[in-house]
Structure 1
Amino acid sequence: MKGFYETELQIARICIEIAGNDRSIDSADPEIDERDLTVKRLGELKSHLKELQNEKSLRLQKVNSSIKTIHELSVVMSIDFFKTVNEVHPSLSDPSKAQSKSISNDTLARLTSTIHSLQQEKQQRLEKLQGLGRKLIELWDLMDTPADERRLDHVTTLISASVDNVSRLGCLAADVIEQTEVEAERLNVLKASKMKELVFKRQNELEEIYRGVHMDVDSDAARQILISLIESGNVDMSDLLGSMDDQIIKAKEQALSRKDILDRVEKWKFCI
């Protein structure tokens, strides 16, 4: 009777854990069928108990693996890990209850759903930061920002990263995204005021190239045209800068071809 009772009690407790109902495990009080107290029947019960123990062990492994995954995702995004797992089931947030964690179907399903939600959030945050990172680089390059002034390089390093490879502590935190958005907005405002300066800087470079090979250039007329374009508001400043960069490249090519001729002229003058 004692063997039957202890075996049935363990079976009842594991069944309650798997079912995940509100009934207390301590209240499990199995009823023994005294009509069959054979060794064969006891063996069958112990075999069933072994199967349930294996099932419990597998479920506990799944729970622990899910908790580990949630912790890793929480660390990357600076999300409150204990609050997250506590919302799934209170037993999961208490380290002292390692062997009494909920292993019910509902808990496993909620853990899976939580992981899916966190993975989606991670993907969305990464994509947002990657977009902001590309915007920062574009603005830095556009305004010739020195390397030592290019802040938030920890964001730009994520541009080519895949979501599975992003694991650095807090790199996808909400405050990091907010900080990056603020910086991008600051640069946008700065861009508007600095673009005019950059356009004339390109124009100076262009004129220097022409002067270096004794090519005539009407600086005043060129600058007046640029001022009219900028003040009209009908030109995209990025496109204008790109166009001027193209002009600079062509001017350098022309200057290089003329330099050979000028060098020959200088040698000819020297000979005379």
Structure 2
Amino acid sequence: MSNVQSDPLLKVETTCGTLLYELQIIWNEVGETDTDRDRMLLELEQECLEVYRRKVDQANRNRARLRQAIADSEAELAVICSSMGERPVHIRQADQNAGSLKEELGRILPQLEEMRKRKLDRRKHFHEILEDIRKISSEIYGSADHNIFVDEADLSLRRLEELHRQLHELEKEKSDRLKQVQQHLDTLNALCLVLGMDFKHTASEVHTSFGGDSGGPRDISNQTIQFLATAIHKLREVKIHRMQKLQDLATTMLELWNLMDTPVEEQQEFQNVTCNIAASEHEITEPNTLSVDFIKHVEAEVTRLEEFKSSKMKELVLKKRSELEEICRKMHMIPEADAAVEYAVVAIESGNLDPASILEQIELQIANIKEEAFSRKEILEKVEKWLNACEEESWLEEYNRDDNRYNAGRGTHLILKRAEKARSLVNKMPAMLEALASKTMAWEKERGAEFLYDGVSPVFIS
């Protein structure tokens, strides 16, 4: 009895036999004929066969599906391993009694799910790297394909490492470009400061990301960097042009200051202009040094000085002439008769003569006189000593003729001391005269002109 319960087939046979026995009892009571009974048994057998056949077909289909699922899973697993560059996973065992199809599918599905998860993570990693590459490429080159394509056939670590290297190179290039852009912006800012221009406005004209208000990253494309370089070049040309203009104004200002002997305290306001008169372009860095307003301010000062010069020119001509005469007086020289100065003053007042040319002529005369005065200096020093000796000689002669020179009195010892020094000096006069004459003749020979003292030839030459 226990065998019947443990074996499903025996249990089915027992159940079918019981039912058939019960059916026969019913037929006996009903009185079914043998023919009808055979016919109904045949129908019953056919119906049972059809049920069995359906179950067998269903079992075959289920087995085929399991085999196909195993094959598909193995194929998918192989494709995933291949795309990720890994060795294929072997699930099927060599021993045919290793397990049923369901057990085999149960072993492969967890491996497949694990590989699918790993592939999804790997694909996500690829997508992130490609997205970073796309963003940086767009920043550098100005445009990029917005559709990120991940090659499902190659998700290997080798390909991932290639993308990492590509990303690293792009990040380095981006860093270098950011440094280059910052250097350009620093140069642009320095130029704007010197030129008195609004840096933010100038930078935003190159690109809106440089204005400081966009809040986004700076544009580092080739085109923008070229625009920055062009803007710097243009501003540098403006700087050089303004610098040359300011230096010309400074030169004119210095000439006018020197011409009119402008006090130092009046020059202080424009010392930052004249100190850059010989500066090179890179040396001028002070803010607003070359601004339009400052250059106009300097131009206005030069215009004022020129107008003031015109009103003071007559005075300047006479002043320079007096300076020339004073130098000649100190050097015992007679200035050239210059009636042209008086004529020049009249001509200046009438506007018929350029006062600057007259001043230039007088300045030239002063320079020539100063040069000649320097060459006469040593002779004049000897002349002064000679004249002093002559005065002492005359005094000594008068002193010797005085009969009361030995009478004691107040200050007598001082007079005696002077007389002693005078005698010593008189004894040196022949040598002094000889040295003076020699020096004078050497001067005349060198310069090819006669040495005059207050307009006449000195007696010591002869």
> How high is the TM-score relative to the length of structure 2?
0.51
Bigger shift: residues 34-43 or 89-98: 89-98
Is it true that 1:2 corresponds to 2:138 in the alignment? no
Alignment correspondent of 2:286: 168
CA distance in 2, matches of 1:50, 1:91: 24
Q: For the Cα contact (< 8 Å) 1:209–1:255, is it kept in 2?
A: no
Alignment correspondent of 1:18: 140
Q: For the Cα contact (< 8 Å) 2:194–2:288, is it kept in 1?
A: yes
CA distance in 1, matches of 2:356, 2:286: 35
User: Could you report, residue by residue, the CA deviation over 1:31-69 in whole angstroms, capped at 9, with x for unpaired residues?
Assistant: 222122222222222221112111111111111111111
CA distance in 2, matches of 1:222, 1:85: 62
Bigger shift: residues 73-82 or 87-96: 87-96
Bigger shift: residues 164-173 or 1-10: 164-173
CA distance in 2, matches of 1:92, 1:172: 24
CA distance in 1, matches of 2:376, 2:340: 19
Offset of residue 92 of structure 1: 1.5
User: Could you report, residue by residue, the CA deviation over 1:148-200 in whole angstroms, capped at 9, with x for unpaired residues?
Assistant: 11231110011121111111122111111110011111111111110101112
CA distance in 2, matches of 1:149, 1:177: 18
Q: Which amino acid aligns with 1:84?
A: T
CA distance in 2, matches of 1:239, 1:164: 37
Q: For the Cα contact (< 8 Å) 2:317–2:345, is it kept in 1?
A: no
Q: How does 1:199-210 map to 2 (within 5 A)?
A: 199-207=317-325
CA distance in 1, matches of 2:279, 2:297: 20
- The share of aligned pairs that are identical, in percent, is 36
User: Could you report, residue by residue, the CA deviation over 1:11-35 in whole angstroms, capped at 9, with x for unpaired residues?
Assistant: 11112112324x8xxx945122212
Offset of residue 247 of structure 1: 4.1
CA distance in 2, matches of 1:66, 1:210: 62
Alignment correspondent of 2:316: 198
CA distance in 2, matches of 1:195, 1:156: 23
Alignment correspondent of 1:250: 369
Alignment correspondent of 2:387: 264
Q: For the Cα contact (< 8 Å) 1:122–1:172, is it kept in 2?
A: yes
State the secondary structure of the residue aligned to 2:161. Answer: helix
Offset of residue 95 of structure 1: 7.0
Alignment correspondent of 1:143: 260
Alignment correspondent of 2:354: 236
Q: For the Cα contact (< 8 Å) 1:143–1:191, is it kept in 2?
A: yes
Alignment correspondent of 1:188: 306
Alignment correspondent of 1:74: 192
CA distance in 2, matches of 1:264, 1:208: 21
CA distance in 2, matches of 1:16, 1:210: 82
CA distance in 1, matches of 2:256, 2:335: 33
CA distance in 1, matches of 2:187, 2:150: 42
CA distance in 1, matches of 2:259, 2:335: 29
Structure 2 CA distance for partners of 1:86 and 1:214, relative to 1, 3 Å = closer
Q: For the Cα contact (< 8 Å) 1:139–1:187, is it kept in 2?
A: yes
Structure 2, unmatched stretches of 5+, are 1-122, 399-462
Q: How does 1:119-158 map to 2 (within 5 A)?
A: 119-150=236-267, 151-158=269-276
Q: How does 1:202-221 map to 2 (within 5 A)?
A: 202-207=320-325
Structure 2 CA distance for partners of 1:39 and 1:205, relative to 1, 3 Å = closer
State the secondary structure of the residue aligned to 1:34. Answer: coil
Structure 2 CA distance for partners of 1:187 and 1:201, relative to 1, 3 Å = same
Alignment correspondent of 1:90: 208
> How high is the TM-score relative to the length of structure 1?
0.84
Return the match for 1:32 from 120, 138, 150.
150
Alignment correspondent of 1:51: 169
State the secondary structure of the residue aligned to 1:135. Answer: helix
CA distance in 2, matches of 1:216, 1:165: 46
Bigger shift: residues 249-258 or 44-53: 249-258
Alignment correspondent of 1:112: 229
Q: For the Cα contact (< 8 Å) 1:75–1:170, is it kept in 2?
A: yes
User: Could you report, residue by residue, the CA deviation over 1:64-86 in whole angstroms, capped at 9, with x for unpaired residues?
Assistant: 11111111111111110000110
Q: For the Cα contact (< 8 Å) 2:247–2:274, is it kept in 1?
A: yes
Q: Which amino acid aligns with 1:34?
A: E
Structure 2 CA distance for partners of 1:262 and 1:189, relative to 1, 3 Å = farther
CA distance in 1, matches of 2:212, 2:179: 16
* Residue-pair matches, total: 266
Q: Which amino acid aligns with 2:279?
A: A
Q: For the Cα contact (< 8 Å) 1:11–1:49, is it kept in 2?
A: yes
Computing the radius of gyration from Cα coordinates, the structure with the larger value is 2
Offset of residue 123 of structure 1: 1.2
